[in-house]
Amino acid sequence: MRLLTIEQEPRVQSLIRHHASCRWPNAEVVPYAPAERGAIPPEFLAQGYDAVLLSQSWPGGDGMEWLRDLANRSGFAPVIFMLDKDAPRAREAALGWGAFAVVCKQRFAHAELIDGIERASHRHRLAMAEWRVSEEARESHRFGDAHIPGYRRARLLARGSVSHLYIAESEKADGLVALKVTPSQRDDSGIDQSFERFLQEYEIAERIQHPNIVRLHELGIADDHAYLAMEYFPLGDLRRRMKTGLAPAESLRYATQLANVLGAIHEAGILHRDLKPGNVMLRTEQQLAVIDFGMAKQAALQMELTDKGLIFGTPHYMSPEQGHGQQLDARSDLYSLGVVLYEMLTGEKPFRADNPMTVLYMHRNTPIPRVAPELATLQPLLDQLLAKEVDDRFADATEAAQAIEAVREQWLQRTG
C-alpha cells in the first residue's frame, strides 16, 4: 500500500501512518506539506500511489480548491478528502467535486479510514491495469526513440545537442522527476560513453549525499538509450531567479550555499568544472541544489594525454587557467563561484564579448570590473574570488564560505 498525504500537521500525518500500518505493516505513507511545497504540478497524476489523502485546510490553503483541480485530472489517483470536522454540507460538497471518499480527521474512525483506502486502492489498481495495456500508456512511456517502462512522459523540458530532458512521473519516486535521455555512443572498445557519463553523475551524487546536491533516483538503459532520473525542480534554475532581481543579502546567502557544496564536492576529490546559474536549481526559494556533473573530473587522477590543452566548461564562467587548458585545482571552481556571485549582485557577467575566445582572453587579462558604489563593500570579496592568479584566491571552499557568510552578516548589520 502506497499513500500520498497532503497534510500540513505532523500529528495528523503520524495518525494516518499509524492507522495504515495497523492494516498494512509495510505501508508507505509519503507526506506532502502543502504550505512549504506549494501546488501540485499540473503534470502530476499520482499514478504510483494507491490513494491520495487530502486535507480540507492548512494555513493559507484551501483543500477544496485543490480537490477541484486534482479530481478533474484524467487518470489521477482516487482522492480521500479529510474534513477538519464533520460537517454534512462540506462532506456533500467534497463528494460533489470528485472525492472518492470523505473522512473526518478530528477523530479518525479506523474502520472508515481503512475501508476508504482499500476501496480506493482496488478501484485505482483496476484502472491502472486497464490503462497499462492501452495505446495511450505505451505512447506515454516513449521518450524520443526510447521506450522506458516505469515512467510516464509529461512533457519535453529541454532539447540538447546530445541529451533530451523530460518531465516524467515515476511509479517509484515521490512525484515528478526530470529524465535525461541520450542515445548510446560507443567508442572503439565498445564502451557506452553515454552510460559512462551518466554513471559518473550518478556515482558522484550518491557518494557525496549533500543537501545542496541534486537527488538522483535511477540510472538505466532502454532501447539503446541511456537515461538518468533525477529530482525535478518546478522553481527552475538560478538564472530564472536572477531575472526577477536578487537583493545583495540573498545573493550572498546563495553564494554561501554554493561554496559549502563545492567544499563537499572537493572533499570527495572532485572538481565540478562547469558551475554556472543554469546548473544551480532552486529546491525552494531558500535552498539551492547543484546539478550536472557531466563535466566533473576526479581531481586526484592525472589528466590523460588526450585531455591536455582541451577546454571544458562554459566560457563566461571559466577561470583563466581553465580557459587556457591548464592544470586545475579546487580554486578554479571558486573563480566560477565569483562569476556567479558577481552576476547575482549586478545582473551582468563580469566579462562579455560576442566571441567566446575574447571572453577567455578577458578572464586572463582584463581587470576585474568594479561594482556600483552602493556595493563597494563587497568588492574585496569579489576581488579575491575572481583573482587572476590561483594563489591569490581563497585557499579552499570552506574558507570562501566563511568569508562570504561573514560579509553577509556585516551587510545585514549595516543595512538593517
DSSP 87-149: -HHHHHHHHHTT-SEEEESSS--HHHHHHHHHHHHHHHHHHHHHHHTSHHHHHHTEETTEE-T
What cell was used for 117? 483506502
Domain C-terminal end among 198, 231, 264: 231
- Whether 146 and 163 have beta carbons less than 8 Å apart is answered as no
Q: Are residues 322 and 372 in the same domain?
A: yes
Do residues 182 and 128 share a domain?
Answer: no
Residue 228 pairs with which residues in a beta bridge?
A: 180, 219
Shared-domain flag, residues 297 and 384: yes
Same domain, 275 and 404: yes
Render pLDDT for 41-67 as a digit per residue (tens, 0 to 9).
Answer: 999 999 899 999 999 999 999 999 999
The domain that holds 76 is classified in CATH as: 3.40.50.2300
> Does the residue 349 lie in any domain?
yes
The boundaries of the domain holding residue 167 are 142-231
Q: Are residues 405 and 365 in the same domain?
A: yes
| Helices 330-346 + 397-415 axis angle, to 10 | 20
Do 72 and 126 belong to one domain? yes
Q: Name the stretches of the chain with pLDDT < 50.
A: 298-312
- Looking at the fold, whether 151 and 243 belong to one and the same domain comes out as no
> Is 274 a residue of the active site?
yes
Q: Are residues 296 and 409 in the same domain?
A: yes
| Same domain membership, residue 120 and residue 94 | yes
User: Which pLDDT score is estimated for 295?
Assistant: 61
Question: Do the beta carbons of residue 52 and residue 6 sit within 8 Å?
Answer: yes
Q: Let me know how many helices (H) and strands (E) the chain has, helices first.
A: 14, 18
Q: Is 307 contained in some domain?
A: yes
| Number of domain units in the chain | 3
Please work out, in degrees rounded to the nearest 5, the angle formed at the alpha carbon of residue 255 by the alpha carbons of 252 and 260: 130
Q: Find the farthest-apart pair of alpha carbons in the chain and give their distance in angstroms, rounded.
A: 76
Q: Report pLDDT digits (tens) over 202-240.
A: 888 888 889 999 998 998 888 888 899 999 998 999 999
For residue 347, CA distances in Å to 50, 171, 247, 286, 350 come to: 46, 40, 11, 19, 10
Q: Give the residue from 216, 231, 246 where a domain finishes.
A: 231
Ranges assigned E (strand) in 284-378? 288-290, 297-298
Following DSSP, what letter does each residue of 277-308 receive, concatenated? Answer: GGGEEESSSS-EEE---TT-EETTSPPPGGGT
Q: What pLDDT is stored for residue 308 in this prediction?
A: 38
- Among the candidates 231, 249, 264, a domain finishes at 231
Q: For residue 286, what is the domain's CATH number?
A: 1.10.510.10
Q: Is 137 among the domain residues?
A: no
Is 252 found in the same domain as 399? Answer: yes
DSSP one-letter code for 213:
B
Which one of the listed residues 50, 192, 237, 274 is annotated catalytic? 274
- 98 and 157 co-located in one domain: no
Q: Model pTM?
A: 0.83
Q: What is the pLDDT of residue 297?
A: 56
58 lies in a domain?
A: yes
- Both 191 and 275 in a single domain? no
